[in-house]
Amino acid sequence: MAANMARSFLQVAATEEVASPLRVVQIEGLAILKIIKHCKEFSPALVTGQLLGLDVGSVLEVTNCFPFPIREEDEEIEAEGANYQLEMMRCLREVNVDNNTVGWYQSTLFGSYQTVELIETFMNYQENIKRCVCIIYDPSRSNQGVLALKALKLSDAFMELHRKKNFTGETLREKNLSWVDIFEEIPIKVSNSALISAFMTELEADTPVTQFQFYYRSLSRQQSQQQAWLQKRRAENAARKASGEDPLPEEDAANPIFKPLPEPSRLESFLITNQISNYCNQINGVAGQSFNRLYLMKALHEE
């Protein structure tokens, strides 16, 4: 029996060692705001920071982060940066905040993040952390209305080849490895705590769209109550008429269900619609000029 128990324990240990592949990076909304704030404040300078969270099955949860000091070449300054990271981790542990390192984040300009330094940083992290990611944020693209946020990891095939330091053409052909197989992009899922979700719901209650939705829901509910009250009054009048009594009026001004509901003002929605129309006209004007130049260049090229 002891041998069976030992065998079952070894089987369980073996199954635990085989980690499920990373499918999703789940980031807290507050952590994303910290990353964006840090990267935008120092743009166009490139900055980095630490990602903290939990590794749960196929999901890597990023619950918090903190920025790194701007790195310089001086060894004393680099040592101070390392001490700063350790001190931050200790402080977070004391206040019962997730302090497990799950990767790092860094800013970039115009997508120029695929460098040897990034690969070396990945390999250094892999020595202590089996699964880690790098969150790349591009402030220049975000200024154009795009949330340029992506989670990257090195592919297993590339890491195996990098450890051997053999990047000859023959080796790359044997491993069937191309330039698109260096990094793997992991889908990002944004999550918020129940307290933040409740706060966001409270903020949404003041928007014009929410006010009109609440008004029409209340109006529909009032109309249903009026119909139910009228059916009940008509049935009562039919009974009174059968007994020879005078019927009661079908509308009662004193009844609160017949009191008209105040409709919210449409001024703000009109102004928003006007502003959207103005933006569309500006886009149309810029796009029209660009198309005119394209057609002109095409005609000159054909001649």
What residues does each domain of the chain span? 19-202, 208-276
* 16 band by pLDDT with thresholds 50, 70 and 90: very low
Q: At residue 104, does pLDDT exceed 50?
A: yes
Mean pLDDT confidence for 23-29: 88
In the chain, alpha helices (H): 2-17, 29-42, 75-94, 116-126, 139-142, 156-164, 169-175, 194-204, 208-242, 267-302
Percentage of residues in the chain with pLDDT exceeding 70? 84
* 272 band by pLDDT with thresholds 50, 70 and 90: confident
Quick one: tokens of 154?
């090195």
* 1 band by pLDDT with thresholds 50, 70 and 90: very low
From the number of C-beta atoms within 10 Å of its C-beta (0-12, 13-18, 19+), residue 38 rates as buried
Sheet of strand 149-154: strand arrangement: 183-186, 149-154, 133-137, 101-107, 48-56, 59-67, 24-28, 188-191
Least confident interval from 31-45, 155-169, 235-249? 155-169
Q: How many CA atoms lie within 13 A of 138 on its CB side?
A: 17
Percentage of residues in the chain with pLDDT exceeding 90? 0
- Of the two residues 191 and 172, the one the predictor is more confident about is 191
For domain 19-202, give the CATH number: 3.40.140.10
In the predicted model, what is the mean pLDDT of the chain?
A: 78
Mean pLDDT confidence for 52-57: 85
Mean pLDDT confidence for 116-125: 83
* 174 band by pLDDT with thresholds 50, 70 and 90: confident
